[in-house]
Amino acid sequence: MIIKITIIALLAYLGAIGAPWILGTTGGFYTLGRPLVAAALVGLILGDMQTALEVGMLIQAMYIGIITPGAVMPFDVDYIGYLTPALIILSKTDPNIAPTLAVPVGLIGVTIWNLIWVINVYFAHRADKYAVEGNGSGIRAMNLGAQIVNFAMRFIPAFLILYFGRGFLQELQKMIPPIIIHYLTVVGGVLPALGIGMLLNMIIKDKSYFGIFVIGFMLVKYLNLPIVAIAIMGAVLAVFWFKFQGGVSYNG
């Protein structure tokens, strides 16, 4: 189990913004750092893909509308993506409380991220000095030093949280009354809907289009249609909508 926790903690570092090893930010933060990708990797490592993907879908929907403008990070989705499903699986907890657990995990990640930036100011200023002097080896040393800080500040807390957190969650479940667990589950279920709502609010200009999403929800909820069927239906309706609204005409 120690080896599995170590791998997950290492991935939590590789998926962070500051890790350059997996094709830079593109392969790291925007691929490995996505909650659904992270959850799938955790499920593969811990041998419980079903639970991991259940958690991954919940937290992916929850944070789908979150953006990271510059260095401002409201929640650390990388930490959330790896630590939340791992804690749920290791402690054998109900996946429905994942959104509730994700909030404190994300705040821990943001706190660590801010500390990394503060510490790495030293390396940035030293690198500037070496650049003025034309000292290339000094600049490389400062980059390496900053990356060592990134690794230590991301890997070590992640490992400790996973190692000690699994036992803590198990004991916490015994102490909390079932009605409180039910309340947390209900509240956590609202958070993914909030994330989807934030995304839709950004991309939809004409609010009357929200009715289309209501129809999709009704098809899933009351007719039990699979998502793939609804997606195909939506694509066909979108083509007709575009055509009849004066879009490009199709010949043949």
Residue that is written with structure tokens 């609202």 in the block: 190
Would you state the pLDDT for residue 217?
81
Would you state the pLDDT for residue 252?
45
Boundaries of every domain in the chain:
2-203, 205-252
Q: What is the pLDDT along the chain (252 residues), one digit of tens a residue?
A: 889 999 999 999 999 887 888 888 788 888 898 889 999 999 999 999 999 998 988 888 777 766 665 555 677 888 999 999 999 998 888 787 788 788 888 888 888 988 998 899 999 999 999 999 999 999 999 999 999 999 999 999 999 989 888 776 666 555 666 776 666 666 666 666 666 677 777 777 777 777 887 888 888 888 888 888 888 988 888 888 888 776 554 454
Would you state the pLDDT for residue 180?
67
Task: List, in order, residues 6 or more apart from 83 with CB less than 8 Å away.
Answer: 8, 12, 105, 158, 161, 162, 165
Spatial separation of the C-alpha atoms in residues 187 and 175, rounded to whole Å: 19
Would you state the pLDDT for residue 131?
93
How many helices (DSSP H) and strands (DSSP E) are in the chain? 10, 0
Would you state the pLDDT for residue 210?
77
Spatial separation of the C-alpha atoms in residues 79 and 252, rounded to whole Å: 51
Would you state the pLDDT for residue 122?
93
Question: How far apart, in Å, are the Cα atoms of 162 and each of 60, 138, 154, 222, 235?
Answer: 20, 36, 12, 39, 42
Would you state the pLDDT for residue 175?
61
Spatial separation of the C-alpha atoms in residues 156 and 97, rounded to whole Å: 25
**DSSP label at 148?**
H
Q: How far is CA 30 from the centre of its chain?
A: 10
Would you state the pLDDT for residue 71?
56
CB 109 within 8 A of CB 80: yes
For helices 98-133 and 178-203, give the axis angle rounded to 10 degrees.
50
